[in-house]
Structure 1
């Protein structure tokens, strides 16, 4: 008598559901959930540092669309062969729902947008960056579940017990549809679940940032820079495990090169940044002005 133990991780049978003609995409739901979690955490952390919670909402108005555009632009630039050339439909670069958002581009353009807003409002950026950093990495962990539903960004074929089974998906006509179709049950390949590896790494970085911030009283942007260095370090190892097509620089995957450069730069910057944490007045200088105006108004009251 034999017993067979199914150890491999099965992929979801589909990543898109329909309510009438309206598609409900797991990838989008994961991204939205990550944004909501990051917002809630940042509001709490920024308030604790002495910042105005309304500033977080203002920042989200510019950061979210800029992040989506930046993430898509980075993906298209680093994977341009999928959108340009013979037989390619360049208009697919606007098909955000099909997946393909590069977190490095999202953070870069999102940060630039928030920097411009804070410069206009004359609010220090670094305290806010420290407040938002743990939320970003936690949102990334949640967003990786979207890659799981899309059956994308997986690693090389493997026979480890926790291998991810990739299913063959078809649409209603029977045509191959890896993103929008439904599984036939046929296993195409068993691969390393790099989405899971990165999700676990991101969650570990989240708790590491909270610990390091409290242990070493990090401030003045050091939490954010530590987030960049920690994420880039993990991404370096993930890129070595990836087996999907990618453009190369010096014979190496683009994301591997970018991650390595980011890690080195972030590590150097972190070592040279100011130690200690900001006072509430340094976090939001306008808060003191608001209190003075309120006191002055009270004195004028009969």
Structure 2
């Protein structure tokens, strides 16, 4: 039976400029970071901050996030790097894939928190400013999985199924079913990268809309808690479609359990924020005061 409709896969995941190899996966990450910084700064400036404040925070948080993302992958798939079949040097080859969003968020947030504490910026305001930006950045980053032909889902007959290329340099060009099973030629797979892209973009739009409509009712930090809940809710069902190797606990993939646990933590955090958090207006006033102090210091140093 001939397939009339499908999503094609790219035949490459990298290209060369002279002796330099450019990985498209890395480019999508870079683009996601740039867009996230821009969105965050625009939201931050409306609260009384400046672009330079966000740029400085990003310089601290982004490397922390990348390290955290890699560490999460190493911890959850140790056999790839250690043991008789492992290669510990592979830990440093992040261009070969293997970054975990949970580690990125945890260490990235920790780095941002430390910087905000040092500079006296309201962390809750930063969290709300970056919430939709993270979803957009994650959506862009999923394009890298498409170019790598990795992390796709179960076989499907849907007209938007993903068709793999068996030719070219893409990482997944020979990983038809991941588990070693033989799939018939022409098998289509759930494009989980696309599902997550759409889910994340819808979430970003919802968070911006909710923030606009309920800014006087929600306490600062609420939007970030909603981001956590939205992302983990989507990641749970999308993760259950994936067929790439993953350790399982009680029949569920590790990332499914992590998503469930983090969703619960996000819901609890949302409730606690409403009860004990500060208003966005109050923290915005503190941010404006801190920004004015910084500007005065800069003027005196000139």
For the pair 1:278 / 2:281, whether they are aligned, the reply is yes
Q: Deviations over 1:87-117 (max 9, x none)?
A: 2222111101111111111011000011111
For the pair 1:38 / 2:36, whether they are aligned, the reply is yes
8 Å CA contact 2:196, 2:234 repeated in 1: yes
By how many angstroms is 1:188 displaced?
6.9
Aligned pair count reads 285
User: Structure 1 stretch 282-291 or stretch 266-275: which is displaced more?
Assistant: 282-291
Residue 174 of structure 1 is matched in structure 2 by none
Of 8, 24, 28, 2:26 maps to 28
For the pair 1:252 / 2:252, whether they are aligned, the reply is yes
Q: Deviations over 1:203-228 (max 9, x none)?
A: 00010100111111144111111111
- TM-score when scaled to structure 2? 0.87
Residue 178 of structure 2 is matched in structure 1 by none
For the pair 1:234 / 2:234, whether they are aligned, the reply is yes
8 Å CA contact 2:13, 2:171 repeated in 1: no
Residue 191 and residue 283 in structure 1: after superposition, are their counterparts in 2 closer, same or farther (change >3 A)? same
User: Structure 1 stretch 119-128 or stretch 135-144: which is displaced more?
Assistant: 119-128
Residue 190 of structure 1 is matched in structure 2 by 188
Q: Deviations over 1:153-203 (max 9, x none)?
A: 1101111111101222456xxxxx73699xxxx957421000100010000
Q: Deviations over 1:21-68 (max 9, x none)?
A: 211211011111111111111111100011232210110111111111
Q: Deviations over 1:93-144 (max 9, x none)?
A: 1101111111111011000011111112222211111111111110000000
8 Å CA contact 1:15, 1:179 repeated in 2: no
Residue 95 of structure 1 is matched in structure 2 by 93
For the pair 1:178 / 2:171, whether they are aligned, the reply is yes
For the pair 1:137 / 2:131, whether they are aligned, the reply is no
Distance 1:94 1:228 in 2: 28
By how many angstroms is 1:249 displaced?
2.4
Q: SS state of the match for residue 110, structure 2?
A: helix
Segments of 5+ residues of structure 1 without an aligned counterpart are: 172-176, 298-302
**Greater Rg, structure 1 or structure 2?**
1
Residue 164 of structure 1 is matched in structure 2 by 162
Distance 2:204 2:111 in 1: 23
Distance 1:271 1:64 in 2: 28
- TM-score when scaled to structure 1? 0.87
Supply the RMSD in Å over aligned alpha carbons.
Answer: 2.5
By how many angstroms is 1:81 displaced?
2.4
User: Structure 1 stretch 41-50 or stretch 117-126: which is displaced more?
Assistant: 117-126
